[in-house]
Amino acid sequence: MKKRFRWLIGCGLIAVLALIVIVRLFASGSSGTQPRVTAVPVVVAKARATTIPVYLNALGTVVAYRTVTVQPMVTGPLEKVFFHEGQYVQKGQLLAEIDPQPFEAALQQAEAKLAEDRATRTSDALQAQQNAELVKKGFVSKEAYVAAWTAWLSAKALVKQDKASIRTSQINLAYTRILAPISGRTGILQVDPGNVVNPSLPNGIVTINMLQPIYVQFSLPQQDLPEINTALAAGPVPLIVTLKGKGASERTFDQGVLTVLDNQVNASTGTLTLRGRFPNPKLDLWPGSFVNVQVRVRTLSHVVVIPSMAVKEGPSGRFVYLVEGGPGAPGGLKVVVRPVTVTYESESIAVIGSGLAPGNTVVTEGSSRVRTDAPIKIVGQMKVRP
């Protein structure tokens, strides 16, 4: 009996507890309160109407505007060097000097030879004149007259030859002073003083690079040729060169213009070679370095732009999360999926052809956690930067 009594008491307690739970659940449901949903934090941006340039992007190589290898024009010992490696030199500046003594002696010898041949020419001219009178009187033979005349003509030719020899000696003597052929920055000295130099040196004495202005050479796919030709027909094509620094930021080095479009496509790569000229006022551009090149081919006027990171890909095409509602609206802020068409896109912006209007707000960060009609919380706003 006792066991049966205890069993009945236990069943009664379980029934009472179950009844209490059922009553509380019913009371909670009848009150109409729902579990609170947490708003998703997002960063947004406002679509705006603006005018933006359209660029073609390429990787370029900086090339010196002029490169000259300074070669000696005569053979001899290199006596002195008048510049420092890496120095900026002006056109016509004295760079080095070859021992001039052998060339000074050669010039003096040529001048002495000219004086001798001038005296011979004068003597032969007088002899020819005398024979011209004597042959008329029969005092000398015609053969003697012709010989005297020929000797005078030969003496005249020798004088001309001597003058040419003097000019050659003067040029060779001048070549012992090696001058800078262009203005620019010198490189590494290839020959030390004391060595005998000659016009056949494989690397010359030094190389000079002209850095102001400077070229940047780059390639673009042949598919871009129509846009490039259209831009060239409209006028000078602006260029921008940039390079990423140690951080994530990209620095603009210089702005220039397109100067050369190669006359053929590289058949092996399917690319066009182009070259632009830049003033390089701060010498930021250095031959051999790599830079990013932007070629402005056209301008889009009065277009709607948003950050490119706001555009998403879906099964039905591209879309954005459009922010609707407000603090006073029922349910607060929320997002809806808005299909869009993109007519142009760069790394930072997307031009919207349809689907958005200026002033619309779209989600740029945090979109992976948002759901349609679910509440959101704006924690930051991004500016549209073309």
CB 297 within 8 A of CB 239: no
Q: How far apart are CA 224 and CA 239, in angstroms?
A: 15
pLDDT band at 83 (very low <50, low <70, confident <90, very high): very high
Q: Select the more confidently predicted residue: 99 or 153.
A: 99
Q: Is the pLDDT of residue 30 over 90?
A: no
Q: How far apart are CA 186 and CA 95, in angstroms?
A: 10
pLDDT of the residue at 332:
72
Please say whether the beta carbons of 10 and 347 come within 8 A: no
CATH topology of domain 40-50+302-382: 2.40.420
Q: Which pLDDT tens digit goes with each residue over 135-176?
A: 666 676 777 767 777 877 887 888 898 899 999 999 999 999
Smallest CA-to-CA distance from 180 within 98, 71, 271 is with 71
CA 304 to the chain's CA centroid: 31
pLDDT at 382: 85
| Residue 31 confidence (pLDDT) | 46
Listed by start position, the domains of the chain span 40-50+302-382, 55-65+211-300, 72-95+181-204, 100-175
Question: What's the sign of the alpha-carbon dihedral 42, 48, 54, 55?
Answer: negative
| CATH fold of 55-65+211-300 | Elongation Factor Tu (Ef-tu); domain 3 (2.40.30)
189 CA to centre of own chain = 28
Q: How far is residue 357 from each of residues 310, 329, 352, measured CA to CA in Å?
A: 15, 21, 9
Are 80 and 96 a contacting pair, CB within 8 Å?
A: yes
Residue 76: closest CA among 171, 176, 196: 196
Q: What is the DSSP letter of 309?
A: G
- Is 0.75 topped by the overall pTM? no
For domain 100-175, the CATH superfamily is Helix hairpin bin (1.10.287.470)
Residue 108 has pLDDT above 80, yes or no: yes
Tell me the pairing of strands 184-186 and 94-98. Answer: unpaired
Q: Identify which of 43, 146, 48 has the alpha carbon closest to the alpha carbon of residue 369.
A: 43
Q: Quick check: helix, strand or coil at residue 76?
A: strand
Pull the structure tokens for residue 76: 């001899």
